[in-house]
Structure 1
């Protein structure tokens, strides 16, 4: 049975409830994973989502910061969360669909502005978070699983608008890309999006600072969909809904989609 999944850093689910509704009405993914919800779980505006058929939600939240949620038209079981790097942040939640697929929804720390853990505590926290992810997947290698979210790293040269200019910019530094690759290897993960769209520049985030983000097109691919090796061949139809970046009161991220035949 095929199901379509989308991941989207929404940058406040309450502030941007109208565009979440727009996405659900127009695109109808079976599962929508949100990051940076910036809301306690009980304040997430579920009424309109449920009216559209998304009656199932598992989430972890905190007031004003972080937060992850999985909205689903399909029954989904809450299978927990992990506090990577001991930050006490709502950055991970996992759910299991009735077809046995486990979905991990992640919001990896952004890492601040300076790529040096000696002078920037947030960068150190980001690297520690990724190290803990690596160690967890190495110790308990996932099966029949999908990992999605804002991982805050653009790993490939064509995942950023200018590779050379961004080599010393947080999200594209060599040490971050190395940690990213270590997490993938530890879990046996495959990059679903790039399996489906192997060539060319591809972005999911454009800064609010750009006066005309679309024309300037200085983007980065920070949002990802991965699958374990046992189901990666069932994934297809990946795409980035770039138009959503131009919706009214948008997030600075665009949703990323993939369909799985399982």
Structure 2
């Protein structure tokens, strides 16, 4: 089986229904994983996506916040969800392909603005979320698995526009990077994007606050595609569609793609 998979923090699937439809039409990924849908499942515009051939859908949602969905042309079955850190948030859903590959779609908490759990509850929740992910993969080594999503951490120095200036900024602090790397190590995950694009600045998110995000180019690579070690060599063709960030009424994230031959 060969397929192309994309992950995209859409920042409201109902508000950006047209953009999702445009991406599905233009790029034709076999599977699209969305985060931050900000919608109960019953209000996600599923009929629009079904009309474009994405007839298999697994999702978890809640009103106004969080929410994750997997849209697929290929048959998938619901493989459940995990409430990491017991937050009661719709931040994870899994689906299984007919060839036995499990896809985990994750939306890790952003963590607020202050990188100190003693004064910022949200930062503590982020670290706890990652710790529970680590513990899960320590106990259940992933096999034939792909993990994607907005993990809200840019781990490498070339995953941000300025390593030095962002060391104390949430998403690139050493403690967050250490926690994310612990998840990778526990599951023996392979960062597919960086396996394909091993060097150079690479971003998937640009702040809405920049007057001209493209010219300023102060980006971060917050969105990831990982594969379990046993299937990592089947991955190829990684790319980030930077141009999508410039569409009318965009998300502040760009979609990330990878293909698999399994």
Q: Same fold (TM over 0.5)?
A: yes
* Matched pairs, number: 262
| Alignment-derived partner of residue 44 in structure 2 | 44
Indicate the residue corresponding to 2:107 in structure 1. 107
Question: What pairs with 1:15-164 in structure 2 (closer than 5 Å)?
Answer: 15-164=15-164
Q: Name the TM-score, length of structure 2 as normaliser.
A: 1.00
SS in 1 for 2:79: strand
User: What is the CA deviation profile of residues 96-131 of structure 1, one whole-angstrom value per residue up to 9, with x for unaligned ones?
Assistant: 001111000000000000000000000000000000
Q: Name the CA distance, whole Å, in 1 between partners of 2:79 and 2:18.
A: 29
Say if 2:167 is the partner of 1:167: yes
Runs of 4+ in 1 over 4 A off after TM superposition: none
**In 1, distance between residues paired with 2:97 and 2:250?**
29
Equivalent residue number for residue 5 of structure 1? 5
Partners of 1:203 and 1:50 lie apart in 2 by 30
Q: Distance in 2 between matches of 1:59 and 1:47?
A: 14
Map of 1:220 onto structure 2:
220
- Does the residue aligned with 2:186 lie in a helix, a strand or coil? helix
Ranges in structure 1 where 5+ consecutive residues have no aligned partner: none
Aligned to 1:194: 194
What is the TM-score of this pair, normalised by structure 1? 1.00
Deviations 1:33-57 (A, max 9, x none): 0000000000000111101100111
In 2: Cα distance, 1:255 partner to 1:66 partner: 17
Unpaired runs of at least 5, structure 2? none
The alpha carbon displacement at 1:251 in A equals 0.1
